Amino acid sequence: MSIKDELRHIIKCSLVKLDINFLESEITIDICKDKNHGDYASNIALVMAKNLHKSPMEIANLIKDNIDSDVVCNVEVAMPGFINFTISPSYLLKTLDKILMMKNDYGRCDIGKNKKINLEFVSANPTGILHIGHGRGAVYGDSLARILNFIGYDVVREYYINDAGNQMNNLGISIKERYKELCGLDCNLPEDGYHGKEIIEIAKKIYSYYKDNKLDCDISFFKKEGLDILLDQIKHDLDTFRVNYEVFTSEQSLYDRGIVDNTLTKLKNSGNCYIEDGALWLKTTAYGDEKDRVLIKNDGNYTYLMPDIAYHIDKYERGFDKMIDVFGADHHGYINRLKGSLSMLGYDTNKLEVKILQMVRLIKDNQELKLSKRTGKTYTLMELIDDVGINAARFFFVAHSIDTQMDFDLDLATSQSNDNPIYYIEYANARISSILKSYKGDLDNLKYSTICDANTYIILNKLCAFEDVVKVAGEKGLPHLIANYVYELASLFHSYYANVKIITDDVEYTKDKIALLTAIKIVINNALNLIGIIPREEM
């Protein structure tokens, strides 16, 4: 049980004793910002006041008088009706023991037990290499997956490969034109073709292998070559960034398995399709969309929406309790038509949650650097990693809420990368490692005897809060809470370190300090692991 669970339990017992009816969800616990009030507070009395026709203060006092627990050492009621709890030192010491015992598993829980979650993220088209914007989605999705795993969910990370649409033809054409260029012919790259450097690289690869023998091949050959090379590159870049997937689903495979045709039949049978101007339309307006959408264009080809509905149905059929899609802000307009289409076929769209990531703006020389597929101007994920390193890049992304429109200043990031808060956290870890190395005693059977100062109490309280932070971060999809948490923990440590000598001649005293530092290090590492960061032991 986490500390908040303990406190909820205490209140629950008190309410039962008082014979007061309540909803479990009504009992909320918050961390006190002002430690003069206590460590945690509940507003339960304020919430219940109206229904019970009593003053919040009266209810709060009743609850307080019926509390009997050694988790807390002090309970106080404050205006206008808060119940404030102070955690007992003995409970905090037990928590310390728990951390030292559980090590890498401290913070784990099983609230997601037997629940399957599908988490789809990045899913960038294989028509170019990953850029900085994809980095944000990659870190968000991967961190969330790690956290959900940690709290007991069965998570499937999935990447949807758009390998069947019009954009693939464009890719084939672009590569072929570059290839022709290498063969000494004219290059007629279309306006809407792909102009990135990587397209030239692919053409070079083909040329170095086949010379000019492939000039007569149609674009399907170039398409296939390009897809294979780019997909490998994408997978490689993600892997380097410590982002991995359980499942890659190909759009083409949905056609091959007949799922797209099946879905189309279902949509037609639902009576929501009609033909207009030679195209087949879907009446998504009947399900909350702003306009109806085309499924089959008047040239006979499917739109992007058609296979995507099929793809989501496939996910539904695979039996997940919940599906999360991570989209960039430029795709937010897509949510209604997708959800509308799915509910049309009777699927519960509450199971599908779409997370929208705000855009990352690149700043260079104090000006926005516009990325463009057309001109091929870009800043790739690998360039970012080369410039600032994996840890700093990941932390930079994950530390911000996804609602924030981030500015990424290239000059700042490359010249003063030490400003990244990750170094502050890594430094805390390195300092602890350094101390533990010079400690000559036993590191295996650590135990803490007494809490002798206020700083220790504050740190233990923070360590104790980890379990709850992890839960909220996972359940609400807010990995940045982990980043905030670990930064605050590092800060508490640095401050403590400056004031307290760890290794002294006093054996018992030193043992206590070493136990505390070991616990801090465990929690720092567990937290960083959840956001895919491997801290250095030495700076």
Exactly one of 19, 24, 34, 348 binds RNA (CB under 7 A); which one?
34
What Å distances lie between residue 192 and 168, 177, 225, 231, 374, CA to CA?
12, 13, 20, 21, 7
Taking CB under 7 A as the criterion, which residues in 39-58 touch RNA? 41, 43, 46-47, 49-50, 56
Exactly one of 33, 110, 319, 508 binds RNA (CB under 7 A); which one?
33
Within 10 A of 278 (CB to CB), how many other CB atoms are there?
Answer: 10
Build a one-symbol-per-residue string for 281-300: x at contacts with RNA by CB under 7 A, - elsewhere. ---------xx-xx--xxx-
Residue (192 or 239) nearer to RNA, CB: 192
How many positions of this chain bind RNA (CB under 7 A)?
A: 95
Residue (53 or 291) nearer to RNA, CB: 291
Tell me the DSSP string of 386-445: HHH-HHHHHHHHHTS-TTS-EEEEHHHHHH-GGGSHHHHHHHHHHHHHHHHHH--S-SSS
**Strand, coil or helix: 131:** strand
Build a one-symbol-per-residue string for 244-283: x at contacts with RNA by CB under 7 A, - elsewhere. --------------------------------xxxx----
Identify each DSSP E strand in 267-420 by its residue range.
273-276, 279-282, 293-296, 322-328, 352-357, 360-364, 367-369, 406-409
Taking CB under 7 A as the criterion, which residues in 118-137 touch RNA? 125
Handedness of CA 506, 509, 515, 521 (dihedral sign): negative
What Å distances lie between residue 238 and 132, 192, 324, 411, 536, CA to CA?
12, 27, 19, 24, 21
Min CB(68)–RNA separation in Å: 21
Min CB(295)–RNA separation in Å: 9
Exactly one of 372, 405, 414, 449 binds RNA (CB under 7 A); which one?
405
Residue with the two structure tokens 């219940």: 48
Does residue 167 touch RNA according to CB under 7 A?
A: yes
Min CB(362)–RNA separation in Å: 11
Min CB(184)–RNA separation in Å: 31
Does residue 36 touch RNA according to CB under 7 A?
A: yes
Element (H, E) at 224: helix 219-240
Exactly one of 52, 183, 229, 472 binds RNA (CB under 7 A); which one?
472
Exactly one of 248, 287, 457, 497 binds RNA (CB under 7 A); which one?
497
Alpha-carbon distance of 314 to 258, in angstroms, equals: 11
Build a one-symbol-per-residue string for 318-357: x at contacts with RNA by CB under 7 A, - elsewhere. -----------xxxxxx---------------------x-
Does residue 414 touch RNA according to CB under 7 A?
A: no
Does residue 171 touch RNA according to CB under 7 A?
A: no
Element (H, E) at 118: strand 116-120
- The DSSP letter of residue 505 is S
Taking CB under 7 A as the criterion, which residues in 373-392 touch RNA? none
